[in-house]
Amino acid sequence: MKSVSLTFFLFSLLLVSTACKTAPVPPEVEQVKAQENDLWRAGAPVYAADDYASYLQSLQLAKERLIKEKAKFGWFRDFDEVKASYIIILAEGEAILKKVQEEKESKSRDFSGQLALLEDRINKLKKVSLNMNENDLVRRSLSRAEVVSKEADLLFSQEKYSVLPNKIKMIDHHVGQAEEALFSILARYADDAQVEIWKKWAGETVAESRKKGTVAILVNKLERTLTLYKKGIAIAVYEIGLGKYGLSDKLYAGDEATPEGKYRVIKKLPTSHFYKALLIDYPNNEDKKRFSQAKKKGLIPPGAGIGGLIEIHGGGNDSLTNGCIGVENSVMDQIYPEVGLATPVTIIGSLESADQLIATLRKQT
């Protein structure tokens, strides 16, 4: 009985002795586990793919060495080599994390700059085309650009830089379409010869007002303004509304364009469908001549007439007209008593060339 007890005692003493001599697993093992997760979350597989693959290979070898060492009997375990391997891996991981952070910061600056430039182009186009009724294609293209831009901003905030180039390409495409549509609308306004004609008409109208001491009206379609002159001096400027294709020169009935030329008030309407109205003598001889030439060239739909009944009327400056010039009712109340029959009404596209504007916009592309 004493022999059994002595044997049990010696065995227990051996176990305690063995446990005391068993080397602990190095703390670097847990540190590497945490680092591996950090690398994954930081995007190492994307931003440092080769280095990360090498890191995983080294880690796999270290894990196999750890498993092999842990399989040994307690007092035979030696984790010195395992510890050294994991220390090296930790250093590799730190270097990769630094590299990933630098790469992400670089991409952040790059994509931030590209998105800012695209946003600037969108805002410029929106500002320029704001009062253009003809801007359906411009507006649609800009709307598409803004939708993709919001998607890109979200991806940017989530640091998903790998998919941003495609989004930026899409935004650029839509903005490009908007620019070309806008340039097409403004092309006539960048024609120096045409602008000189408009300037001549405006100058003659103001000179007549000054010479005769009378009232005259100058409508600037691009600026969306009606300027009231008295004795050659501008006494008031009002905002106006035009037709759907108001920036185009009217050719025929139903084209929803606003005519350009030197006209006269031929009738004052104290009441009309659009509050008060001033009827002008469109079409005049120049309009008829142009209509005839355009018809011979096949530029006018078969059966279309030259049209008429072009007015300056109330009803608001934000509603679409059929080629007339709309103003607020309060403005009409101010203009109406100043104007008489035969008052000059000159309608021009612009007094300044849009060439510089187009050139500035093109530089953004």
pLDDT (tens digit, 9 = 90+) per residue, 24-62?
Answer: 999 999 999 999 999 998 889 888 999 999 999 999 999
Helix, strand, coil tally for the chain in percent (to 5): 60, 15, 25
Contact predicate 89/39, CB 8 Å: no
Three-state DSSP at 89 gives: helix
CA distances (Å), 340 to each of 211, 251, 344, in order?
Answer: 17, 27, 9
H or E segment at 215? strand 215-220
Mean pLDDT across the stretch 338-361? 84
The confidence band for 5, taking pLDDT boundaries of 50, 70 and 90, is low
Structural tokens at position 178: 């908007």
Model pLDDT, residue 233 = 96
- Whether the pLDDT of residue 200 is over 90: the answer is yes
Model pLDDT, residue 133 = 73
Who has greater pLDDT, 134 or 256?
256
Mean pLDDT across the stretch 208-214? 95
pLDDT (tens digit, 9 = 90+) per residue, 102-120?
Answer: 999 999 999 999 999 999 9
Mean pLDDT across the stretch 158-181? 92
Mean pLDDT across the stretch 9-18? 48
Instruction: Give strand pairing partners of 101.
Output: none
Who has greater pLDDT, 212 or 23?
212
The confidence band for 3, taking pLDDT boundaries of 50, 70 and 90, is low
Determine if the pTM surpasses 0.95. Answer: no
Q: Measured between alpha carbons, how far is 298 from 317 in angstroms, rounded to an integer?
A: 34
pLDDT (tens digit, 9 = 90+) per residue, 249-301?
Answer: 888 888 888 999 999 999 999 988 889 999 999 999 999 999 888 888 888 88
Model pLDDT, residue 18 = 47
Who has greater pLDDT, 233 or 315?
233
Structural tokens at position 241: 């509304």
Contact predicate 344/208, CB 8 Å: yes
Does a cis peptide bond (omega within 30 degrees of 0) precede residue 26? no
Q: Measured between alpha carbons, how far is 238 from 12 in angstroms, rounded to an integer?
A: 105
Model pLDDT, residue 119 = 94
Model pLDDT, residue 21 = 60
- Range in 160-164, 230-234, 243-247 with the lowest mean pLDDT: 243-247
Nearest to 221 by CA among 193, 240, 237: 240
- Whether the pLDDT of residue 11 is over 50: the answer is no
Model pLDDT, residue 245 = 82
Please, what is the average pLDDT of the chain?
87
Contact predicate 160/189, CB 8 Å: no
Please identify which residue in the block is written with the tokens 């739909």.
Answer: 301
Model pLDDT, residue 306 = 86
- Whether the pLDDT of residue 14 is over 60: the answer is no
Amino acid at 306: I
Mean pLDDT across the stretch 156-182? 92
Q: Measured between alpha carbons, how far is 346 from 260 in angstroms, rounded to an integer?
A: 7
Mean pLDDT across the stretch 148-170? 93
The confidence band for 354, taking pLDDT boundaries of 50, 70 and 90, is confident
Q: Which residues lie closer than 8 Å to 257 by C-beta, 6 or more apart? A: 243, 245, 246, 247, 248, 249, 250, 251, 323
Q: Measured between alpha carbons, how far is 248 from 363 in angstroms, rounded to an integer?
A: 26
Three-state DSSP at 69 gives: helix
Model pLDDT, residue 39 = 92
